[in-house]
Structure 1
Amino acid sequence: MTAVRPGDIEDLIRRGPDPRIPVILVYGPDTGLVTERAKALAESFLPDATDPFALVRIDGDLLASDPGRLCDEAGTVGLFGGKRSIWVRPSSRNFAPAIEAVLSIPVTDTRIVLEGGDFAKGNPVRALCEKSQRALAIPCYPDDERALGDLIDRTLRARDLRIDREAREVLVRSLGGDRRASLMEIEKLALYAAGQGSVTLDDVEAVVSDVAASVLNTLVDAAFDGRIEVVERDSRRFRLEGLDPAQVLGSALRHATAMLALRLDNPEKSSSAMAAAWRGLHFKRKASVERQLGLWGPARLRQAIDILAQAVLASRRAEPALAEAIASAALLRIAEAGRRR
């Protein structure tokens, strides 16, 4: 079995997998990290990653309908000889027969990188790669604090920037969940701080938190915290600015769902411990979210989710003016429930 442990993955990619192992599966729930690692593994095998004859991209759906195509590509000799990489992109269909076939033939000077989704243990492609001595299976889960810290330092260092300790801690807490999204935020921050040598806390607060999203989070937090006056004020503001009511309700629904998942997964933890485990939670929201987690138990959160889900459905069917009233009424119901501590 050649499944790679999460703690060994970065070292493996830096030094390069054993060239005698031709097939590498990269899979997991963090799609940005899956793509980043698949790209690195496919390109690092080649002397020149820009050579279109050396790097071949194949869609997984094509292999599902033509399993022999992968063996044909793996056995093809490049126009000018040398190493080749075959990068198989994600598929909605099962292409395990193509993988099973290529694992049964000798493959030299070719690396086959499979970009997969969030494959469960019993997925046929994952099972084949984990059982074969000629394949690797590399999981990609959301970055922890250490991995995010390394990503921040590495990305900023490449742009001749360092980051203050406090700013780094805040940035780590603001990221997570998807490597691609995290990298985009760090690169945006690097562009903002270009030429000043160091990234400060003011830079992080100015760039990383989106203003519209921040105000929307304020409205959602106010509703679940029972602050009815703030809900009324911000609801009027969003109506005047023409924000889609479905966006407001969707944000509140995702928030309630995330809190319910935290409560169910951590029944013995305190509110502060659960808030600390919330990946990507902005530090300015932490105190409010702690109060909400202490106030809203699983049963009450299910009721809130039902209220919001019904409001989402009703707002989609209603005229714009009525949809705004439906969204405001739903948030006020949540706020009234939050006030009844």
Structure 2
Amino acid sequence: MVAVKPGDADAAVGRIDPARPVMLLFGPDAGLVAERAATAAAAGLAGTTDPFALVRLDGDAVAADPPRLADEAYTIAMFGGRRVIRVRVGSRTITGAVEPLLKEPPRDCVVILEAGDLKRGQGLRELVERSPHGLAIACYADAGRDLDRLIDEELRAANLAIDRDARDLLLSQLGGDRLASRGEVRKLALYAHGHDRVRVEDVEAIVGDASAAGLDEAIDTAFAGDAETADGAALRLFKAGTSPQSLLAAAIRTAIQLHRWRIAVEGGVGVRTVLDNTRPPIHFRRKPLIEQALNAWTAEGLATAVIDLGSAAADARKQAQLAEPICLRSLLALATSARRARRR
């Protein structure tokens, strides 16, 4: 079984092992899958000038004609050297097409399979992981250390440094998709061109969208007990086009996260310790409000808040014409509960 550990993944895709010519890249981070596939393809094609050495195949087309993959993999390059085949796995299984390549590995050919999230012990993932001639590399959303490295790579290439608070804010905006994250950092570097370092103001101006900050303000102030600020922030969001349903969905996600953190606090971990160790880090401007919320709420109260917000979201969907008042009432209820808890 050859399943590459997360820490070894980047090295593995940049170094082609002739004994393991079938590489499966899979996971929920489609951007990271694509980036690593491109890196592996470049490594496989190093030194060749053959314009036909790279072949791209659609997974569903391969599923419809399984022998086609083997025909391509066993074809000798016209001008010599290694060939690379990239297969974008679709909705149909291609295990039947891949199996012969693992039994009789092709020479001078690398087959790169790009897939979505695959369950352990099933189908294509199990087939490649169990073969001595395959590599299976999981691609999950970047953690704090990965994002730090990505930021350093891109800003170093642009001859830029970054302030600590700007880095924290940037980290809070990245992480779901590797290519999207890299694109945001490159956009930031272009914006800061001509300066020697990136500051908070630069990140606020160019990364993410303003509505995300507005959502945080409305929700965080509600959980902290500031009804007036929460109400004003919500009204500004509605005026800008944010739907009440989106605001309620974000409030539910925040309540779930607060519930997890509060469980840790009730287990004996300090509030500041919990927040300081969160990855990606919480934006420094949010920290005081979240700290207030965690000090005001209990885990039981937050569990109830998740249920109440879920009911409000359902009501807002059923009664679209009343969605805004329903959302505002929910934020008021959160703020009222937080204020009451602080008085005890």
Q: Which moved more, 1:66-75 or 1:157-166?
A: 157-166
Unaligned runs of 5+ in 1: none
Cα deviation, residue 306, structure 1: 2.2
Cα deviation, residue 250, structure 1: 1.9
1:26 alignment partner, SS class? strand
Task: Note closer, same or farther for the CA distance 1:286–1:179 as it changes in structure 2 (3 Å cut).
Answer: farther
Residue 290 of structure 2 is matched in structure 1 by 289
Residue 19 of structure 1 is matched in structure 2 by 18
1:56 alignment partner, SS class? strand
Tell me how far apart the structure 2 counterparts of residues 259 and 64 of structure 1 sit (CA, whole Å). Answer: 45
Tell me how far apart the structure 2 counterparts of residues 184 and 130 of structure 1 sit (CA, whole Å). Answer: 32
Q: 1:33-81 CA distances to partner (integer Å, 9 max, x unpaired)?
A: 2221122112331148997632222233333443333222212334544
State the aligned residue count.
Answer: 339
CA contact (8 A) 1:262 1:274 kept: yes
Residue 193 of structure 2 is matched in structure 1 by 194
Tell me how far apart the structure 1 counterparts of residues 49 and 263 of structure 2 sit (CA, whole Å). Answer: 48
Q: 1:282-317 CA distances to partner (integer Å, 9 max, x unpaired)?
A: 222122223333444443333222222222232223
Residue 323 of structure 2 is matched in structure 1 by 323
Cα deviation, residue 194, structure 1: 1.3
Cα deviation, residue 170, structure 1: 4.5
Tell me how far apart the structure 1 counterparts of residues 243 and 249 of structure 2 sit (CA, whole Å). Answer: 10
Cα deviation, residue 265, structure 1: 7.9
Cα deviation, residue 88, structure 1: 1.8
CA contact (8 A) 1:177 1:280 kept: no
Cα deviation, residue 251, structure 1: 1.6
Structure 1 length-normalised TM:
0.87
Aligned residue identity for 1:305: V
Residue 182 of structure 1 is matched in structure 2 by 181
Structure 2 length-normalised TM:
0.86
Tell me how far apart the structure 1 counterparts of residues 299 and 124 of structure 2 sit (CA, whole Å). Answer: 37
CA contact (8 A) 1:177 1:279 kept: no
Task: Note closer, same or farther for the CA distance 1:243–1:200 as it changes in structure 2 (3 Å cut).
Answer: closer
CA contact (8 A) 1:174 1:281 kept: no
Q: Which moved more, 1:222-231 or 1:67-76?
A: 67-76
Q: Which moved more, 1:63-72 or 1:149-158?
A: 63-72
Residue 304 of structure 2 is matched in structure 1 by 303
Aligned-pair RMSD on alpha carbons? 2.8
Residue 333 of structure 1 is matched in structure 2 by 333
Residue 134 of structure 2 is matched in structure 1 by 135
Cα deviation, residue 111, structure 1: 0.9
Q: Which moved more, 1:186-195 or 1:202-211?
A: 202-211
Aligned residue identity for 1:337: S
Cα deviation, residue 142, structure 1: 3.0
Unaligned runs of 5+ in 2: none
Residue 102 of structure 1 is matched in structure 2 by 101
Tell me how far apart the structure 1 counterparts of residues 43 and 61 of structure 2 sit (CA, whole Å). Answer: 25
Residue 229 of structure 1 is matched in structure 2 by 228
Q: 1:242-291 CA distances to partner (integer Å, 9 max, x unpaired)?
A: 43212211221222233345556887343333333242532221222233
Task: Note closer, same or farther for the CA distance 1:210–1:283 as it changes in structure 2 (3 Å cut).
Answer: farther
Tell me how far apart the structure 2 counterparts of residues 63 and 32 of structure 1 sit (CA, whole Å). Answer: 23
Q: How does 1:255-274 map to 2 (within 5 A)?
A: 255-262=254-261, 268=267, 269-274=269-274
Q: Taking every aligned residue pair, what percent have the same amino acid on both sides?
A: 42
Q: Which moved more, 1:98-107 or 1:60-69?
A: 60-69
